[in-house]
Structure 1
Amino acid sequence: MTKWHPDPGQLRRPVYISLADQFTAAIKSGRLAENDKLPPHRDLAYDLKISIQTVSKAYDMLARRGLVSGEVGRGTYVKAGGSVPQSPYIAERLANEIDLSIVTPVCTPFHLERMKDALHRLGDGLPPAAALSFRPNTTFPRHNEAAAAWLSMLGVETAPRNLLVTNGASSAFTIALLSAAGPGAILAAEEVCYHVIRPLADYLGIRVRPIVADADGMVPEALEEACRREEVRVVALQPNLANPTASLMSEGRRRAIAETARRHDVTIIENDVFGPLLSRRPRPIAALAPERTVYITSFSKVALPGLRIGYVAAPDHLAATIANRHLMANWMATPVMAEIATLWLSDGTMQALVDWQRNALDQRHRIVSAVLHGTAYRAHPEGLHLWLPLPPEHDEPAFVSQARVRGVAVAPSTPFSLSGAPAGAVRVSLGATEADELRAGLDILASLLRAAPDRSVLAP
């Protein structure tokens, strides 16, 4: 039996979620290790002065998160691999809950009609290769040409032969990391960054080093110091509307990062999934250091969630390796989705969807400005989310739980934190729900910020 024990003074409503969050943090931090046995339901309920049903619900939530397993007669144990961070978004939406936890573009029936129209058009003129080819190199050449033109509009000049079509940005990032860093290599990333980086690096045996960041993104001097201390092989960046901090890196900062990477022969992976939303964007790092930057973009965040297609542009020395890694892991992207993306790039629909999204986000940010007036938050008027630092008196897990009790789900900072420690902030999505629900959800968050923190321990 482990010596670690939940702190009753840290429990918040709903208690079962708060209790599950305490166990999750203990598992992620290593205070609870693989095969450690959790206290029996009745004993823990007695110690914490809560109901057995509350403990059971907390243990069930831990099991759904994949952190524990239980057997009748043996008890509940921490599973192997239980230290994997949880996703920032909620897995299950409760009835009447306003979900501001997952970053997705604003979508309306207009978007569904565009997809239906594309499928009808594709059905009338489906290229044989989209259904019959089993060879990526015979399926995607014309898609690569359309991708190269799109990337050129984004400021990245690359040859079609150095482009790869993938099933979205997550697939692209995995392949890029597999190609640029092997087991034992060191990856540098901002201390609060894209939530996939930590677990993916752990799976691949890659060591992660958090780098200090400010409102302009990664601090070049901190990266320089890390490169001097150790042999950093890769730096992962999201310079445009970073997830979750919503920062937009200036061109001067991008140049400084590129020069540091050049001095120390570091490969840069530039994740630009939000870049197309920016009507005025600084030059990509791939344009400043093309010889060492792997550039990634996709469409699910800027056009349509179901359009799971992404592009990877690689420098000459990595292009073949990335293509081979993708072949081993995925064989090839889904041809039908690639056909739709290429169709929309060629007939202007893609740009129209991006323009539509900018206009919709302008309206969403007007709501944010009105409701959160006087509140310190970080956002960009063309961004899909905002970063909301909490006042010092507000405990982050408690704030997230209190918001959930009030019917609003937001993303805590811990899944984004490379250290696993809370950053004292939450991410709020602006596109995942209807405008009136967004306003209502923001009203609730604003009222929680104005009120004194709820320190009571109440059963759900």
Structure 2
Amino acid sequence: MTMPFLDPAALHRPVYQSLADQIARAIADGHLANGCKLPPHRSLAHDLKISVQTVSRAYEELIRRGLVSGETGRGSFVRRQEPSGDVPYLQERPGEVVDLSILKPVCEAMHLDRMKAVLAELSVDLPASAALSFRPNVIFPGHRIIAADWLRLCGLNVSPGNVVLTNGATAGMTVAMMSAASTGTVIATETVGHHTLIPLASYLGLKMVGVEIDADGMVPAALDALCRQEDVRSVFLQPSPINPTATMMSLERRKALIAVARRNALTIIENDPLGPLMENRPPPIAALAPELTLYVTSFTKTVLPGLRTGYLVAPDRLMSAVANRHLVSHWIATPLLAEIASRWVRDGTAMELVRWQRAALKKRQEIVRSMLKGIQYGAHPEGLHVWLPLQSRAEEEIFVTQARLRGVALAPGRSFQIGRDDHPAVRIAVGSASETELRSGLRIVASLHQAAPEPLLLAI
């Protein structure tokens, strides 16, 4: 067989897509090196006992994904690959799909109306510095004061001088990781965590290691053990239910992890893009250990997806490093978006939209409870998603594929896997579709779960 690592028995409908997935995994696992020539269509079709047309469609799919290049007269070759996470959501939304794969807040026409209204205001009284200045210290002093007001709603009391404005949580995470660890050292995180961390760490020359989790989040003893084995400089935590398993970490667990961090001189990066969304939550880790913690929050998951601005809070000892690294990687946050966020914090619009979102998500989670009655899953009453555990990775792959064939997109658990522990599951976003679509999608999820998915028959 020309590619012995391919498994004909694991091919399922649509076969071309399943074959493309297997070849993509082979590339990611190093079975197919950069520049390697793929077998001719006819040869691979003969080996796998499928049609030449199916192989051709698989190669076309790999070209579309940017994994393979086709050269007329020479064949198909593996393209040079950069480190990349397994993106959990649909990158496009073709046709009629109930998209429960991408994590976003509930949005209605009201949200767009609010944005149009504030843009109309800015057309009248836009500060000159927001359009004309290059210097963060000229643009943002007033914004930092307002940011400190917002951060109090998140549970933090901070000085405006310890706040850096960012273009959302991703930019904040990047700067925090650049500031907390140096090339070649380790950042620890939950073994089911943020799907961008592995490629981001790779780009920065860092090693990302997954640490065992339980029903309360990262296990402190496991983090302590890792610190004895590796040169761990930082630990990246998502203690609110933005984490894939939808876990709200308890106050006791937060304190236990802080104790491990202090014992091992670790800097904590706390990713909290939900900010004040959830009521009756424990205080942020940054409030309990401000001297250890880089705290990241933003407005995109709670106020408006297009409001891609946020805050990175740093302790005094790291403030210079954070400011410099933000300068070289982003220069400044986008002034126009920062101006909108500040206006909405100051006039109460931001918190009004958070309260609206909280109520909308509670209603969505009630729909989930109704539609998935009798099925065990993880969720928070005010959360943006559901975590549905499955028995195995094979079942996960079949489950996602069957749902997609029935017009429902789900995020596979493998996209969030960091480390050796295996947690097969699907993540189901509850805010990305209408209520009608959500009910329809959950009906299909429930039927698939109750039917215990079996491998699909081969078909082109």
TMscore range, shorter length: over 0.9
Shift of 1:134: 1.2
- What is the one-letter code of the residue matched to 1:59? Y
Partner of 2:204: 204
- What is the one-letter code of the residue matched to 1:261? A
Shift of 1:99: 0.6
Are 1:275 and 1:281, in contact at CA under 8 Å, matched by a contact in 2?
Answer: no
Distance 1:4 1:313, change over 3 A: farther
Distance 2:343 2:275 in 1: 21
Distance 1:6 1:83 in 2: 22
Give the TM-score normalised by the residue count of structure 2.
0.96
Partner of 1:181: 181
Distance 1:368 1:162 in 2: 40
Shift of 1:228: 1.4
Distance 1:245 1:28 in 2: 25
What's the CA shift string for 1:279-310, capped at 9, x where partnerless?
11101110111111000000001110000001
Distance 1:442 1:244 in 2: 18
Distance 2:188 2:437 in 1: 38
Partner of 1:287: 287
Partner of 1:63: 63
Shift of 1:422: 6.1
Are 2:242 and 2:273, in contact at CA under 8 Å, matched by a contact in 1?
Answer: no
Are 2:410 and 2:427, in contact at CA under 8 Å, matched by a contact in 1?
Answer: yes
Unaligned runs of 5+ in 2: none
Shift of 1:24: 2.2
Q: Are 2:245 and 1:245 aligned?
A: yes
Are 2:87 and 2:195, in contact at CA under 8 Å, matched by a contact in 1?
Answer: yes
| Poorly superposed stretches of 4+, deviation over 6 Å | none
Partner of 1:401: 401
Partner of 1:259: 259
Shift of 1:9: 1.0
Partner of 1:359: 359
Q: Are 2:273 and 1:278 aligned?
A: no
Are 1:241 and 1:275, in contact at CA under 8 Å, matched by a contact in 2?
Answer: no
Are 2:377 and 2:388, in contact at CA under 8 Å, matched by a contact in 1?
Answer: yes
Q: Give the length in aligned residue pairs.
A: 460
- What is the one-letter code of the residue matched to 2:304? L
- What is the one-letter code of the residue matched to 1:75? G
Distance 1:385 1:452, change over 3 A: closer
Please tell me the root mean square deviation across aligned C-alpha atoms, in Å. 1.7
Partner of 2:312: 312
- What is the one-letter code of the residue matched to 1:199? P
Distance 1:331 1:393, change over 3 A: closer
Shift of 1:57: 2.5
Are 1:17 and 1:401, in contact at CA under 8 Å, matched by a contact in 2?
Answer: no
Distance 1:193 1:356 in 2: 27
Does 129-138 or 54-63 show the bigger shift?
A: 54-63
Distance 1:420 1:117, change over 3 A: farther
Shift of 1:3: 4.5
Shift of 1:443: 0.5
Distance 2:300 2:393 in 1: 37
Shift of 1:47: 2.2
Shift of 1:205: 1.3
Does 325-334 or 6-15 show the bigger shift?
A: 6-15
Are 1:188 and 1:236, in contact at CA under 8 Å, matched by a contact in 2?
Answer: yes
Distance 1:30 1:51, change over 3 A: same
- What is the one-letter code of the residue matched to 1:219? V
Equivalent positions of 1:420-431 (< 5 A) are 423-431=423-431
Shift of 1:81: 2.3
Q: Give the fraction of aligned pairs with identical amino acids, expressed as a percent.
A: 54
Distance 2:25 2:235 in 1: 27
Distance 1:392 1:417, change over 3 A: closer
Q: Are 2:166 and 1:166 aligned?
A: yes
Distance 2:90 2:111 in 1: 24
Shift of 1:420: 8.0
Q: Are 2:132 and 1:129 aligned?
A: no
- Secondary structure at the counterpart of residue 455 of structure 2: coil
- Secondary structure at the counterpart of residue 275 of structure 1: coil
Distance 1:361 1:315 in 2: 33
Partner of 1:86: 86
